[in-house]
Amino acid sequence: MGTTEPFQMRDGWILEDTMVDTYAEIAEEAFAQFLSEKASPVIRPELEHDAAAYHEHEKRKKMMGIKTIVFSAMTLEAAAYEFATLQLGEHFAKKYLDKLDVVGKWLIIPRLVCGRSLREDGPAINGLKALIKSRNALVHHKSKEWDSRIKASDTLNAIKEQRAQFENVQVPIAFKTLILLSLELNAVLQADGPLPSFEDSWIHPTPCDPLVAQVIHRCREVHRDNWRGL
């Protein structure tokens, strides 16, 4: 990236009723509960009438996964607009930037603000694209009629694959994207941006869940590798 002067951020107190930190806290709490449920699986019993605990476990895990995806996306959408409003002015943000999709906002706004941008093919932007796709699929979810022409076993296998994709890919990517985008934006600005900080020196306002802390640590390593490649 070369040596550049750190960008001077305007103070966040200029904005009223900001929700970025609130959304981020909800996403982190949901992700911690999701990881906890996933780390303590409940085995499905053979008899369905004994499966109440299993179904409750699966329901909690699904709910926490959905909250993680939705509130991670809400955090990044809110932060993009607040960043533009704070640094470029509310009129400019509303007139020229608000209609952009969230990926476009995070590619364009930092460049407008400080002359430097996030890496278009980097892990933060790639994660953001996947996150928005997952969020849209949830928000615009449409149930499907059971197709009697397809073997029941094939349908059930497809459902299992979708569940595995949700739990092993979509949910983890959601919160990882929040971390990675915060780390990369702060590196671009050489200052604290509008998102919660996840730097090595960051002091969590509340005790950080150990499982979430492991994810944050891995994301820092990914960010360092990505940043060294610029």
> What are the distances in angstroms from CA 115 to CA 7, 90, 109?
9, 19, 9
Question: For residue 35, is it within any domain?
Answer: yes
Q: Is the pLDDT of residue 218 over 80?
A: yes
Q: Which two tokens stand for residue 80?
A: 């993009």
Whether the Cβ atoms of residue 134 and residue 170 lie closer than 8 Å to each other = yes
Contacts with 73 (C-beta within 8 Å, 6 or more apart), sequence order: 102, 131, 132, 135, 174
Question: For residue 119, is it within any domain?
Answer: yes
Question: For residue 7, is it within any domain?
Answer: no
Q: How confident is the model at residue 50 (pLDDT cuts 50, 70, 90)?
A: confident
Q: How confident is the model at residue 1 (pLDDT cuts 50, 70, 90)?
A: very low
Question: For residue 112, is it within any domain?
Answer: yes
pLDDT of residue 121: 94
Question: For residue 8, is it within any domain?
Answer: no
pTM of the model as a whole: 0.87
Q: What total number of domains does the chain contain?
A: 1
Q: How confident is the model at residue 152 (pLDDT cuts 50, 70, 90)?
A: low
> What are the distances in angstroms from CA 174 to CA 30, 95, 145?
11, 29, 29
Question: For residue 94, is it within any domain?
Answer: yes
Question: For residue 12, is it within any domain?
Answer: no
For 197, the domain range is: 18-142+150-228
Q: Which two tokens stand for residue 131?
A: 């996150």
Question: For residue 174, is it within any domain?
Answer: yes
